[in-house]
Structure 1
Amino acid sequence: MPTSTSEAVRVAVLADSDTRWKWGALTARRIAPSTSVELSGFLLRGRATPTARQLAEVGVRADALREVTGNEFLRTMKDEPYDIVVLALVGGAVQAMLHGLAALALPRRPVVVTGYVGVVYEKLSDGLLLRHGADVVLANSRHDADRFRAVYEGVGADASAVTEAALPFLGGEPYAPKDDRDTLVFAAQPSVPASRADRTYLLRRLVEHARLHPKREVLLKLRSKPGEHTTHIEELPYQKLADKLPGGLPPNFRLVYGHMGDVLDRTDLLVTVSSTAALESLHRRIPTAVLTDFGVREALGNHHFLGSGLMASWDQLDGGHRPTPDAEWLAGQGVAADGSYDSAFDEVRKRVAELLLVPSLPAPAPYYTPSTAPGYLPGILARHHLAPDGTPLPGSAVTTEVSGVRRVVREAVREVARGAYRHGVQRVAPVIRRMGEL
């Protein structure tokens, strides 16, 4: 346990995608009550395990980084002392790790922190209750903190873990328009909208906007390349749709990758359906628009921006409209455009420091137990090879780490399996779905 702000705090981050790794690693550095952090990264093996390219694009480095199963991570927690563990995972995986940590019965366990990587617009109750049991459940805004506490209190669960902070990756210079620059950026999302027709429509409107404004640079900001997965599955990559677009692409239209912050450095209007990039843009006071072309619907997530003043359609944007954000709405969303971002993590840093001083924290006590959710919890734990009591299922024990040729072969087999899965998601599944619609 660190005893001063200069002593290194040992933090482990377990993440299951590139975006969650970014959130988890940056959160770890912001919440640690020390100027020195020893950061160990663990990537949960699965369909969305980030590639080397995705990790490089995220640009967040760790002192050590390796791929693990859930049981391998738990074994590491038993063998190696950590002060803080950040669970940057989907809700079910968080719940499994909480039960797994409880089953370890460590004499001194780490402080466990979890939260959300961005806008919480779906499965609010389900996701929150699956995260219950962590010492700290981070809320990215006052709006989220109020909602999170209401959910926990609504089922009679302890809500004291909910702690208001902000998204850890907000930053960059405030927006300053330039006479020689006019750039519109559309922040794409892997699963919103989902259908081929809707995604083709979006691409067509972007291209038409570029043709309508030939002196404006129009950029389609993509999260991943075909064959890669991120937090959500992308069945219909825009790259492939663009190849089939009639008439081709105009010279002032480009598909771009890279760090979102670097793209925002040259953005004069950010457009999205419901991406968290909108909050990054608003933090910098960049003009921002949330599309209404597909309606304002819970399934799209743009209902989160009700009252924001940001709603607009492509017809309005084509005509030169620039939304003006509502100041009261902004104040509740944690974008800290008022300059208060530097103090946004003070509360959680103080809370973590207090927990680190507790000689022996009690075992995590999630709301879901074999008694409160006997028809739900066992299935969640089994997906992560854990029994209902949080112990490893028979046959899922951690194997000895292999090296040399065996390791190369094993990694090659894993990549082939991932490639087959991605092929099924992006090629086979859409064909079957279309056949079913005939």
Structure 2
Amino acid sequence: MPASAKKSLRVAVLADSDTRWKWGALTAQRLTPAAAEVRLDGYLLRGRATPTARQLQEVGVHADSLREVTAVEFLRAMSEDPDDRYDVLVLALVGGGVQAMLHGLRAAWGSGKRPVVVTGYVGVVYEKLTDGLLLRHGADLVLANSRHDADRFRAVYEGVGADASSVTEVALPFLGGEPYTGADEPSPEQGRGPYTVVFAAQPSVPDNRRDRTYLLNRLVEHARRHPEREVLLKLRSKPGEHTTHIEELPYQKLAQGQDLPANFRLVYGHMGEVLDRTDLLVTVSSTAALEALHRRIPTAVLTDLGVREVLGNHHFTGSGCLASWDQLDAGHRPVPDEEWVARQGVAADGTYGTAFDSARERIARLLDRPGGLPPLAPYYTTETAPGYLPGILARHHLGPDGVPLPGAPAADKAPGPVRQIVRRAARGAYRHGVQRVAPVIRRMGEL
């Protein structure tokens, strides 16, 4: 940060789920210099995936303030008191949410003083690359978690004639922990706990009962084959909670009533703490694989259900990590390809400490820009996407010009006890419908 930079920074993060809050808040911390005095204010966008208190506690990121808002409430907060605005705003939202906020903020701020706006992705980008990127275009920084992603992002923007200068290479903000130094098959007599195999579950991959039951059964079978090992099923959320993706068939429900071996357990908690005791990380395509590879923990990406785009494990072709349960049962330990790992932003070579330097320098230059920043300029407008953009904005109660529609929900004060009870009941009914009713209706339709 140049000597003329501010010694104190105000940063805001708007997130719509627990995983995006984790990404957004940790990204905000990585983007600010260690020597700066930083105030971090968090805003949680009200919706189906608004995190619970337990989920927020599990993320473990401290904010100076944290409150739940509607899109219109957030835009109102961002437009108040132009002399007391944030320096940096991180939009940790799904693509449509980012696009709506960019247009809403453009309308709210106009050509006046505004913060540097940052957005990006929570993890591996394996689907809807072009759609998601164009919905994020217009932010000052669109963060790419690896060199591989940065190249792809620029190619998409340049391919449609959009400005690609916002693409900034960083790394995932939640990498860390001590490098793995475990023995091949340590025993308690060697001073370590039992060899631990962890399966990192995903809420929507795979997305059907047959495949999820298959994976659960193979994990349980692995525990029976290896009674000397500890086998953990790492879960993302408890029944009734939602994360970034909808989980219609939670593994804990599929496991109910099964005769599970004593060395098999279901666990929650911070992924970093689980990785502290992991000797082999197994997943279909979870971002946890990148966290494990960063720490050089042996990592297996399953091929049992095929290597397919819909599963996301196609992203790991060339990684050296693809393996089946049969191979893992027989003792196989995948060895990652170092070149692939380097291009994926895993930073297992010790370069993670400098991964955010270029982003910090870019933000410092933008904050010091004479005359302030120009108005936000998303690629999508009513001229370039007249049949697409209005619908995206309307879902957040914004008109085609980004201005709140008449009657848009925007409470002036925190909801009272009765309203909170009604809201929790409505949210619970929605989740019950997703996890119980929808699968039944789907099965009936297949008869």
Which range, TM-score by smaller chain? over 0.9
1:395 to 392, 396, 407: 407
Q: Cα offset for 1:418? A: 0.3
Map of 1:147-166 to 2, 5 A cutoff? 147-166=152-171
Q: Cα offset for 1:411? A: 1.1
Letter of the 2:298 partner, please give it.
P
Letter of the 1:294 partner, please give it.
L
2:437 to 425, 428, 438: 428
Residue 414 of structure 1 corresponds to 423
Q: Cα deviations across residues 243-283 of structure 1 (Å, max 9, x unaligned)? A: 043xx100000000000000000000000000000000000
Report the Cα distance in structure 1 between the residues aligned to 2:216 and 2:147, rounded to whole angstroms. 35
2:125 to 113, 120, 123: 120
Residue 137 of structure 1 corresponds to 142
3-state SS in 2 of match to 1:243? coil
The 1:224–1:337 alpha-carbon spacing in structure 2 relative to 1, beyond 3 Å, is: same
2:390 is the alignment partner of 1:385: no
The 1:37–1:67 alpha-carbon spacing in structure 2 relative to 1, beyond 3 Å, is: same
Letter of the 1:418 partner, please give it.
R
Residue 277 of structure 1 corresponds to 288
2:350 is the alignment partner of 1:339: yes
Q: Cα deviations across residues 344-400 of structure 1 (Å, max 9, x unaligned)? A: 000000000001112321111000000000000000000000000000001116332
2:29 is the alignment partner of 1:29: yes
3-state SS in 1 of match to 2:43? strand
2:372 is the alignment partner of 1:360: yes
1:83 to 87, 105, 114: 87
2:211 is the alignment partner of 1:198: yes
Residue 322 of structure 2 corresponds to 311
Report the Cα distance in structure 2 between the residues aligned to 1:30 and 1:36, rounded to whole angstroms. 13
Contact 2:198 2:233 in 1 (8 A): yes
Structure 2 stretches of 5 or more lacking a match? 189-193
Report the Cα distance in structure 1 between the residues aligned to 2:392 and 2:411, rounded to whole angstroms. 23
Report the Cα distance in structure 1 between the residues aligned to 2:386 and 2:217, rounded to whole angstroms. 49
Runs of 4+ in 1 over 4 A off after TM superposition: 2-6
Residue 107 of structure 2 corresponds to 103
Residue 183 of structure 1 corresponds to 196
Q: Cα offset for 1:131? A: 0.0
Contact 1:297 1:303 in 2 (8 A): yes
Contact 1:14 1:87 in 2 (8 A): yes
Contact 1:6 1:36 in 2 (8 A): no
Report the Cα distance in structure 2 between the residues aligned to 1:12 and 1:414, rounded to whole angstroms. 25
Contact 2:134 2:157 in 1 (8 A): yes
Contact 1:188 1:272 in 2 (8 A): yes
Map of 1:4-83 to 2, 5 A cutoff? 7-33=7-33, 35-80=36-81, 81-83=85-87
Report the Cα distance in structure 1 between the residues aligned to 2:45 and 2:63, rounded to whole angstroms. 15
Report the Cα distance in structure 1 between the residues aligned to 2:111 and 2:58, rounded to whole angstroms. 36
Letter of the 1:40 partner, please give it.
D
Q: Cα deviations across residues 64-97 of structure 1 (Å, max 9, x unaligned)? A: 0000001111111111511000000000000000
Output the TM-score relative to the length of structure 1: 0.97
Residue 251 of structure 1 corresponds to 262
2:251 is the alignment partner of 1:238: yes
3-state SS in 1 of match to 2:424? helix
Residue 191 of structure 2 corresponds to none
Contact 2:126 2:312 in 1 (8 A): yes
Map of 1:288-307 to 2, 5 A cutoff? 288-307=299-318
Report the Cα distance in structure 2 between the residues aligned to 1:222 and 1:363, rounded to whole angstroms. 42
Aligned-residue RMSD, C-alpha: 1.4
Contact 2:144 2:153 in 1 (8 A): yes
Report the Cα distance in structure 2 between the residues aligned to 1:383 and 1:6, rounded to whole angstroms. 37
Report the Cα distance in structure 1 between the residues aligned to 2:409 and 2:302, rounded to whole angstroms. 49
Contact 1:103 1:390 in 2 (8 A): yes
Q: What is the percentage of aligned positions where both structures have the same residue?
A: 77
3-state SS in 1 of match to 2:416? helix
Q: Cα offset for 1:106? A: 5.4
Contact 1:78 1:106 in 2 (8 A): no
Report the Cα distance in structure 1 between the residues aligned to 2:74 and 2:412, rounded to whole angstroms. 14
Contact 1:5 1:36 in 2 (8 A): no
Q: Cα offset for 1:240? A: 0.5
Q: Cα deviations across residues 20-58 of structure 1 (Å, max 9, x unaligned)? A: 000000000111245321000000000000000000000
Residue 214 of structure 1 corresponds to 227
Letter of the 1:414 partner, please give it.
R
3-state SS in 2 of match to 1:86? strand
Q: Cα offset for 1:213? A: 0.1
Output the TM-score relative to the length of structure 2: 0.95
Report the Cα distance in structure 1 between the residues aligned to 2:27 and 2:4, rounded to whole angstroms. 20
Contact 1:30 1:168 in 2 (8 A): yes
Letter of the 1:136 partner, please give it.
L
Q: Cα deviations across residues 147-192 of structure 1 (Å, max 9, x unaligned)? A: 0000001100000000000000000000011533300000000000
Contact 1:5 1:35 in 2 (8 A): no
Contact 1:199 1:238 in 2 (8 A): yes
